[in-house]
Amino acid sequence: MARLTARDIGRIESTYTSDLGKLSWTWVMKPDGRVLYRLSHINGHPERNYWRLVYRLSTTERWQIGSDASRAADLLARLARERGHHLENHR
């Protein structure tokens, strides 16, 4: 799992590898319920792309997840898979 910051509830990384190279994305869940992702690495080199909003948790969903990083990571993984991203080392 990727390193959490004080401003994130959950964080995961997804990758895609092809003949052209390896792309890595970072997915984060913020305390205000925003779920964002961005392209973070191309062939191992860091990228500084804009964060893109993918989903906004409802009040009930935020309450259910609370500050549980495990639940947040599970939701991030589900959202990433729904959008065609491949996850390494996640259930």
pLDDT tens-digit map of 34-66: 999 999 999 999 999 999 999 999 999 999 998
Place of tokens 């092809």: 18
- Is 22 within a domain? yes
Indicate whether 91 belongs to any domain: no
pLDDT at 1: 46
Considering all CA atoms of the chain, what is the largest pairwise distance in Å, rounded to the nearest integer? 43
Residue 4 located in a structural domain: no
20 is a domain residue: yes
In a domain, 2, yes or no: no
Q: What is the pLDDT of residue 8?
A: 87
Q: What is the rounded distance in angstroms from the CA atom of residue 56 to the CA atom of residue 40? A: 21
Query: What are residue 61's phi and psi, to 5 degrees?
Result: -65, -40
pTM for this predicted structure = 0.84
- Is a pLDDT exceeding 80 seen at residue 13? yes
> What span, in angstroms and rounded, lies between the C-alpha atoms of 83 and 6?
26
Determine the structural domain holding residue 21 and report its residue range: 10-86
Q: How many domains does the chain have?
A: 1
